[in-house]
């Protein structure tokens, strides 16, 4: 009944389980708060003191069942260390949710901001727990401030892999080979950094890209610096921040 934080993350398997749970919570919160699926497609869970909705298979809602299958495919690629990042996008394109994964045996290289003077990369359970709760709370705030979605939205998911370790013919369950040159927005896109969660073995980053006019009520402190000026609003996908 609860998304329990381990007392310690001493093994890669413990870290993997936590990252899977965080991915499930994040995707569930996004689809729930954006009204993609009916109430019956979710169960209620608690993440520390935060109440969250978790997507589940609902025979009366084929869409939720499909997304659950996609999530299991993500888990397969994540467990094999093939998954670089995934998109969950709405229409062409109204909103895009970008989940990026990094793997390491020596602890992640953290990108601390200029206001954080820590130089070490030792990750404690307290660090991971604090970052996890903050990530979910920021998702809640963001979802409640975005403009309502159109009535005819269509949700899709795309996975991208680390080419140097992924077999050429690999496709996780529920996915097929595809092509994607970038994201096309009708309006001017803008980026938001939602947050990142480090463990001693993984790093999960969550970002959102959507049309600028849909974010007029969003707190500017979580907006990324810089706006794209790419003609036709086609954003290339290079596996990391567009500005990097």
Could you give phi then psi for residue 228, rounded to 5 degrees? -75, 145
DSSP state of 229: -
The answer to whether 52 and 3 have CB atoms below 8 angstroms apart is yes
Residue 25 in this model has a pLDDT that exceeds 50: yes
pLDDT of residue 218: 64
pLDDT of residue 159: 92
3-state secondary structure of 223: strand
Taking only the tens place, the pLDDT of each residue in 143-185 is: 888 888 888 888 989 999 988 889 999 999 999 998 766 677 7
pLDDT of residue 103: 87
Hey, what long-range contacts does 29-32 have (CB within 8 A, 24 or more apart)? 29/53, 29/136, 29/139, 29/140, 29/143, 30/88, 30/97, 30/139, 30/143, 31/55, 31/67, 31/155
Q: Which domains does the chain have, with CATH numbers?
A: 12-222 (3.30.900.10)
The answer to whether 68 and 55 have CB atoms below 8 angstroms apart is yes
What is this structure's pTM?
A: 0.80
pLDDT of residue 151: 83
β-pairing, 42-47 vs 83-90, is unpaired
Show Cβ contacts of residue 98 under 8 Å, excluding neighbours closer than 6 positions.
85, 86, 87, 205, 206, 207, 208, 209
Give the total residue count for the chain.
244
Q: State how far the Cα of 189 lies from the Cα of 180, in Å rounded to an integer.
A: 17
pLDDT-based confidence at 222, cuts 50/70/90? low
Q: State how far the Cα of 138 lies from the Cα of 20, in Å rounded to an integer.
A: 19
Mean pLDDT value across residues 73-84: 93
pLDDT of residue 106: 54
pLDDT of residue 11: 85
The answer to whether 58 and 40 have CB atoms below 8 angstroms apart is yes
Taking only the tens place, the pLDDT of each residue in 49-73 is: 788 899 998 888 999 999 999 999 9
243's tokens: 């500005």
Q: Cα-Cα-Cα-Cα dihedral of 151, 152, 153, 154, to 10°? A: 150
Q: State how far the Cα of 79 lies from the Cα of 77, in Å rounded to an integer.
A: 6
pLDDT-based confidence at 92, cuts 50/70/90? low
CB-side neighbour CA atoms (13 Å) of 231: 0
The answer to whether 132 and 47 have CB atoms below 8 angstroms apart is yes
On average, the pLDDT of the chain sits at 79
pLDDT of residue 117: 41
**190 vs 42, more confident:** 42
Chain position carrying tokens 């995707």: 27
3-state secondary structure of 78: helix
Q: Kindly report which listed range (56-60, 130-134, 185-189, 216-220) carries the lowest average pLDDT score.
A: 216-220
């Amino acid at each position: 009944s609860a998304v329990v934080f381990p007392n310690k993350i001493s093994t890669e398997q413990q870290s993997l389980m936590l990252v899977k749970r965080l991915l499930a919570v994040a995707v569930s919160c996004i689809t729930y708060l954006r009204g993609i699926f009916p109430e019956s497609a979710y169960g209620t869970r608690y993440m520390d003191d935060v109440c969250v909705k978790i997507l589940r298979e609902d025979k009366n809602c084929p869409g939720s069942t499909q997304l659950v299958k996609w999530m299991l495919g993500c888990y397969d690629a994540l467990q094999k260390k093939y998954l670089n990042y995934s998109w969950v996008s709405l229409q062409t394109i109204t909103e895009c949710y970008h989940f990026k994964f990094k793997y390491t045996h020596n602890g992640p290289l953290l990108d601390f901001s200029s206001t954080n003077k820590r130089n070490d990369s030792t990750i404690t359970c307290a660090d991971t727990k604090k970052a996890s709760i903050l990530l979910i709370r920021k998702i809640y705030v963001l979802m409640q401030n975005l403009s309502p979605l159109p009535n005819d939205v269509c949700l899709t998911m795309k996975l991208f892999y680390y080419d140097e370790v992924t077999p050429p013919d690999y496709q996780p369950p529920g996915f097929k080979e595809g092509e994607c040159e970038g994201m096309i927005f009708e309006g001017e896109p803008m980026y938001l950094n939602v947050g990142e969660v480090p463990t001693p073995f993984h790093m999960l980053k969550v970002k959102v890209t959507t049309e600028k006019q849909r974010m007029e009520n969003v707190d500017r402190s979580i907006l990324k610096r810089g706006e794209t000026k790419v003609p036709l609003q086609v954003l290339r996908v290079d596996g990391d921040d567009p500005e990097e």
